[in-house]
Structure 1
């Protein structure tokens, strides 16, 4: 097995994986995130290069970093690479949807203070480790949500390290109002504008 460290090879791999959709979608998303800052500190291993038959993404062997320490580093240093690239697009979408949405609701993105609510509503959540994982996703990858007039999330969706839209949820009392479609569409457009495949 060969670890790909060269950025040129990783970019070439990303292009090669694109031609194998949908089979390569998960590994493509991981390679794409590695090429765009590698927030989860992954590495790519192939059986041979350039005529590979297997591609594996795994945590880097030499890096042992606790999830919450990455969250604070990313938050303090402003290394949320995707946010910077998508800021203009997000505000354009926000402006367009705010023209049609009830003024007491706001289209926004999740912030780290929402991680406890997501942890409570996530089927795999309910523990501190999952809350740290969700906080890391919120800080590192695009998300979208509808907030009420007090800034409380009513509906949301976020992406993970594989560029997959995950953990979409609408609070039961706010279902059947179109919030889920609004959040999913906004996030999909944001991902597409940043060059990510839309999957989830």
Structure 2
């Protein structure tokens, strides 16, 4: 495998746009790498310039990888052959927004309370995230808040977040959450709308992954104009090491 340099990464970003939806997440990683200096991610290809395989590898001990569901058997077979313990974490719809004009306006009362997260909110996000409450997740969330766009609704009295959405290193929106006592007020819809407009205006790909069983979030994003390729699913696999 050959590790790509800065010039090659800029070339790859253009090439990957022609391979959506399969290349969407890798494209998101490359998009961020070319613009933001955060936690290092190494990018490898099987050969250059005509590559068939591209790999984004965060420099962490624990590895979670995403691939098209059609490659599940191959991924697990390679892990088994190398005696690497792993399991399938989630299977997701990939939802993209092509036309932000369908997004509803954010109510002025909510809009006035929208802000960005800061690093002091790391523990709050971590303890409410489905895959949080681990040392590596704290580091990841802190890095996301520090380097990438985020959006939250602040409580009028405490000025603490009561709902939020973040951006993963792959540019995908995620960790959307509203505290239990503040649900039913349209905060999630307002956050997704506000964040989507902001990302679109800055040239980001606007998309997210939604687990197949999460019908509530699927309906939310569909109603906001997000669409999917019905033939495509993304699957996450968790491995201890590579």
TM-score interval, normalised by the smaller of the two chains: 0.7 to 0.9
* Pairwise CA distance, 1:154: 1.1
* Pairwise CA distance, 1:102: 5.3
* Pairwise CA distance, 1:195: 1.4
Please give the alpha-carbon distance, in whole angstroms, between the structure 2 residues aligned to 1:125 and 1:108: 23
Please give the alpha-carbon distance, in whole angstroms, between the structure 1 residues aligned to 2:162 and 2:14: 37
Please give the alpha-carbon distance, in whole angstroms, between the structure 2 residues aligned to 1:126 and 1:109: 22
Q: TM-score, normalised by structure 1?
A: 0.75
Q: Which runs of 4+ in 1 moved over 3 A?
A: none
Partners of 1:3 and 1:43 within 8 A in 2: yes
Aligned to 2:3: 3
Partners of 1:40 and 1:161 within 8 A in 2: no
RMSD of aligned Cα (Å): 2.1
Matches within 5 A, 1:71-86: none
* SS of residue in 2 equivalent to 1:101: helix
Larger helix proportion, structure 1 or 2? 1
Partners of 1:34 and 1:43 within 8 A in 2: no
Aligned to 1:197: 205
Aligned to 2:191: 183
CA deviations 1:111-147 (Å, max 9, x no partner) are 1111111111111112344223211111111000100
Structure 1 residues 56 and 38 mapped into 2: Cα distance closer, same or farther (>3 Å)?
A: farther
Matches within 5 A, 1:95-174: 97=106, 100-101=108-109, 106-149=113-156, 150-174=158-182
* Structure 2 segments unaligned to the other structure (5+ residues): 61-104, 209-242
Please give the alpha-carbon distance, in whole angstroms, between the structure 2 residues aligned to 1:136 and 1:17: 25
Higher relative contact order (CA 8 A, sep 6+): 2
Please give the alpha-carbon distance, in whole angstroms, between the structure 2 residues aligned to 1:24 and 1:109: 29
Larger strand proportion, structure 1 or 2? 2
Q: TM-score, normalised by structure 2?
A: 0.63
* Pairwise CA distance, 1:59: 3.2
Aligned to 2:227: none
Structure 1 residues 137 and 49 mapped into 2: Cα distance closer, same or farther (>3 Å)?
A: same
